[in-house]
Amino acid sequence: MEQHWVKMTFHCMKTLRETTWQKKNKSPWILIALKMKLFMKLMFFTPSTDPNSQLYVFQYPLRPVWRPHELEERCQEVRLRPSTAQMEVDLAIDFDSKNFDRDSDHAVKMEKQTLSTSWIPLSTCTSGYAVGVHIGDKLHLNPIHAVVQLRPSQQHLKESELKKNIATSGDGKTVVNKEVEEKKPAGPSKKQNKPPGNDEDIGEHWVHLKYHGARSDISTRYLQEMAMGEGSPVPFSMSPVDYLNAVCPGRPTDTDRLKILRTRLSQLPLEERIRTWLLEGPPIHRFDALKHLALDDPVDGILRVLQRYAQLVQGLWVPKSSLIYGKNDGLEVLARNFILFEFSKSTIIKQKVFARRLDFLKAAKPTLKSLAVERPDLNDWKLKEHPDKKFEVLYGDVVKEQQATWECMGKQINGILSGGRNRKC
């Protein structure tokens, strides 16, 4: 059976690249999010087109659009070791190119450029990864067999150095340069360096593959087969809006609104400026970003105002519940304080903490939606922002004060939930 190596170009990604190129003033992440919103209607998990086909992802530095790799003309041969996913790709060299140094000592020895795997890919590294084919309003996910990282092979340099260090004496005997032997490391042999269980794989013969370009009939047919069977539908656990917020939190509408708000706040006193920003700005704040609201004010002054109107959660500043609701008691205030207290301990809140407290969970939902991403498959909520470790290191005294406040509030919250009385910290 003839072995084939198919190169595919996905038109949805090509269109995305062109759109990003044309609209330089817009963030590519925003364009990706907009396109995701358009086709996130139906998603299918499609297995391999047939038992003998394997899908590989090749990782290699891309050239600019004006200087492509030109695999259609340059690719001479592709080799594969199936059991280890090791690959080698031979490319023809353009000797007339200004990027090729003819005066190099190794130029004479170079007949081709070989790209090879720098490490042996493991199938366990690719579990959970897939290639998406977007057609219409459907996204077909095809599981991949392995991810292959290609690097330029330096074999021609090794062969050149070997020939340099081998001389022939007058009587026809070969004399090896002693310096080479001295440089030879006294470490473990190649056999010892082999990954465990791969002795047979290393000795496996290369399988020679026939290369087919992106526009060839067989490549087009394979791409169609990847989206032909609808496979198993993948249920969505998030709405398109929530997904966009998770992937790209700074949407254009929010960016414009916050820009206008920041301009309006520049005329207010420091305390009113920070208080209004906590109320009308994003739900979670990093201290480095907050400092831009008060470039001319001392850090101590900013921290003093922050501790009056906000609380520290994982090194991030979140407005106090009393500021949000305008009161210190009530079910909504208690639920929000409970959420903040749980996030102060971990970036993840398990659903089981709301066991037998459905009314309490309902009251906590607005806070959870604004601060976290729900993960139904894991039965938890995860904080949208990564912890600010930098702030925790730089301002240890503030962190200790906030930890003491949370310990007191934790006892207060647990006391109320257990039927006790509300005690002030």
pLDDT tens for the chain, 425 residues long, are 345 555 444 333 333 333 333 344 444 433 343 444 444 456 666 666 667 777 888 888 777 878 777 778 888 888 888 777 788 888 888 777 777 777 776 666 677 888 888 665 555 445 567 888 877 777 788 888 778 888 888 776 666 555 555 544 444 454 444 444 444 444 434 433 344 344 444 556 888 888 888 788 888 888 888 877 656 676 666 666 666 666 665 555 566 677 788 888 888 899 999 999 999 989 999 999 999 888 889 999 999 999 999 999 999 999 999 999 999 889 999 999 999 999 999 999 998 888 877 788 889 999 999 999 999 888 899 999 999 999 999 999 999 999 999 999 999 888 888 776 655 66
Cβ atoms of 311 and 320 closer than 8 Å? yes
Residue 363 identity: A
Count the helices and strands in the chain (H runs, E runs).
Answer: 18, 18
Q: CB neighbours (10 Å) of residue 232? A: 12
What's the number of CA atoms in the CB half-sphere (13 Å) around residue 325? 17
Gap between the Cα atoms of 239 and 233, Å rounded: 16
Query: Are 19 and 27 a contacting pair, CB within 8 Å?
Result: no
pLDDT for the residue numbered 175: 47
Beta bridge partners of 207: 80
Contact 59, 150 (CB under 8 A): yes
Count Cα neighbours of 354 within 13 Å in the Cβ-side half-sphere. 19
d(C-alpha 188, C-alpha 180), whole Å: 17
pLDDT at site 71: 79
Coarse DSSP helix, strand, coil percentages of the chain, rounded to the nearest 5 percent: 45, 20, 35
**Cα–Cα distance, 401 to 32 (Å, whole number):** 42
**Domain extent listing, the chain:** 37-161+204-233, 254-420
DSSP-assigned beta bridge partners for residue 148: 58
Nearest to 77 by CA among 151, 5, 145: 5
CB of 371 closer than 8 Å to CB of 383 = yes
Tokens (6 digits) for 383: 């904080």
pLDDT value, residue 35: 44
- Of 423, 282, 407, nearest to 341 by C-alpha is 407
Q: CA end-to-end span of the chain, whole Å?
A: 77
What ranges in 298-377 are assigned the alpha helix state H? Answer: 299-309, 321-325, 331-345, 358-371
Q: What's the rounded Cα separation, in Å, for the pair 246 and 248?
A: 6
Q: What is the pLDDT of residue 81?
A: 83
- What is the pLDDT, as a whole number, of residue 30? 38
Strand-strand pairing, 348-350 and 380-383: antiparallel
